[in-house]
Each structure stands twice: as C-alpha cells, then as structure tokens.
Amino acid sequence: MRELILSCKNLHKTFGKKQILKDVSVDLYAGDILGFIGPNGAGKTTTIKLILGLQGITSGEVKINGFDVQKQFTKAIQKVGAIIENPDLYMYLTGYENLKLVANMYPGVSKQRIMQVVKQVKLENRIHDKVSKYSLGMRQRLGVAQAILHKPNLLILDEPTNGLDPEGIKEMRELLKELAQKENMAIFISSHNLAELETLCNQVCVIQNGKVIENTSINQIKQVAQTHYKLIVDSTENLNQYLNYPMEIKNKEELTISVSREQIPEVVKVLVKHDVKVYEVGQVQMSLEDAFLKRTGGNTID
C-alpha cells in the first residue's frame, strides 16, 4: 500500500468577500511527482501557502504525514522542504557556507550529510566557490540541496525551472526524478512550463478559478474519447471523397483522423477498398498543453 504524504481536503480560502479557493482537494503519495497547473490567478500560490501554513485556512484541512497543519504545525512541517520561486541564498558566501547555515537550523545534520547532498545535486566541484559565481541553474540546485538537507519526504517547488536554460532544466529534471525514485520523496510542483512537467510528472492537478477541474495521472488527462490517429499511406490524394471522418491532410503520405479506436478497422477497410496502401497507423496522444487547453476551455496558462 502506497504511503499518503500530503492530503488536502475541501480547502476554502476567502479574503474579505472574495473567495479564492473553493473546495480544493488533492492527495500526493510517496514517490509521486505532481504537477499543479492553472492560469494565473487560479489559486496555485494560495494553495501552496495554505499547505505550508503561511496563510490561515478558511475551512477544510491539510495533513502532512498524518499531522494537521493547523493543529499540529510543528510535526506536520518537520519533514517538508520547499522552494518558493527563487531559493534564499547569501551571494557573498560559498555554497558550502550557505548549506552549513541551513544545517544549523536542524538537529543531527552532519558534515557527512551536507556532502552527501552536495554530491546528489552535483555541486561537489564548485561547492567552495562563492554563490555569486554560480549560474542560475547551480543556484537552483543549491536551493534544492538546502531544502532536502533534513531528509524531508515532501518537497514543494514553485516554478523550479523559471529562468533556466535548457541545460539547467535538464539538470533539475534529472535531480527531481532521482529524489522521487531513489528517495521515495513526494514532490509537489507548481509551474507554467507544461512541456517540462509532461516529461517530469506522473500526476497532475488542474485548478481554474479556485476550483480543481482535473486531478488524475498525466497519461489519463491526455486521453480523450474522440482520439486522433496518424496514418501513413501511399497517397492522400482525394481521400476526402470517400473517408467521411474529421481529418487533416498533412502531406502527400500523411494524415490525421479523429475517430475512436473501434472505428480504425473500418477506416483501414475503406482505404484498402479504394486501393490505398496503408503503411502505418498510430495513436496521436494529446500533449499536456493540449489537454490543459481542452479542460480549461482555451484558457491559457499565462
């Protein structure tokens, strides 16, 4: 049985007469990476602040490792690491000195543990350089090192790849996957980078206007009843004369067609009947961005 790390149940948050969150519920299990996505103003940052106890909950509850954030805050938060936007770093100190300062706030974080984390985030060759000389990607990795020094089982990240170049994004992705797979850490990520989340996360939660509109696996959200299939044929000429399905001719040999899986044999049968050679049939899965736009009615992420 998988271990439930984070449980948000029926969260409501109001500021004066304005309701920011409406009945938000989301669960996160050990080893899962959840992408928390939605348009600006949807309530993502507010939800994170409620989880971390940085704002009061109007109604509902947040439990971390079984402890209620409102009633047992110290116990609930003790195994949580977080980076909200940019990590807090002292630029005039070395990477190691920054980690040593954070280590002093937790009991039992040894020099051996610090160096273990340094190796984990691949900063061993630069850890004694001043942070002012670090690239943005290196600073983000140092921030993750700070967040995991005390061996949390829940890591919360707000825009962890913001401003990173492709190499920095790749490094961050590999690091987070390693933490989930090898440390069995539950990772909660709020991000606008849907293409990156698609390669990183196995769970997704979509929020719009303060309400959760989708909460499922990354594969499930991209599936639709009316599916697109790619066909490679010897010629796409005049197909619309005898194929009575929604389709798009890509080029002389490729088309996409919107049909259900059960309709594919009939499509192939019609093509063969008209002497069209079919070389390939494959399902075209929606991207996370396509799925997001479909669920939100075209409301863009930014």
Which letter does DSSP use for residue 291 in this model?
H
Buried b (16+ CB within 10 A) or exposed e, 158-187: bbbbeebeeebbebbbebbbebbeebebbb
Instruction: State percent of the chain over pLDDT 90.
Output: 63
* Mean pLDDT (whole number) for 226-240: 86
Structure tokens at 219: 């594969």
Percent of the chain with pLDDT over 70: 96
The one-letter code for the residue type at 119 is K
**Would you say residue 118 has pLDDT above 80?**
yes
Domains plus CATH for the chain? 4-221 (3.40.50.300), 227-284 (3.30.70)
Find the helix packing angle between 166-182 and 136-148, rounded to 10°. 20
Query: For residue 105, which amino acid is it?
Result: M
Q: Which residues of 212-250 are buried (b: 16+ CB within 10 A; e: fewer)?
A: bebbeebeebbeeeebbbebbbeebeebeeebeeebeee
Residues with Cβ < 8 Å from 193, sequence gap 6 or more?
161, 162, 169
pLDDT of 289 higher than 80: no
- The 10s digit of each residue's pLDDT in 58-103 is 999 999 999 999 999 999 999 999 988 778 899 999 999 999 999 9
Of 110, 199, 198, 189, the C-alpha closest to 151 is 110
Average confidence (pLDDT) over 274-295: 82
pLDDT in tens, 36-60: 998 888 899 999 999 999 999 999 9
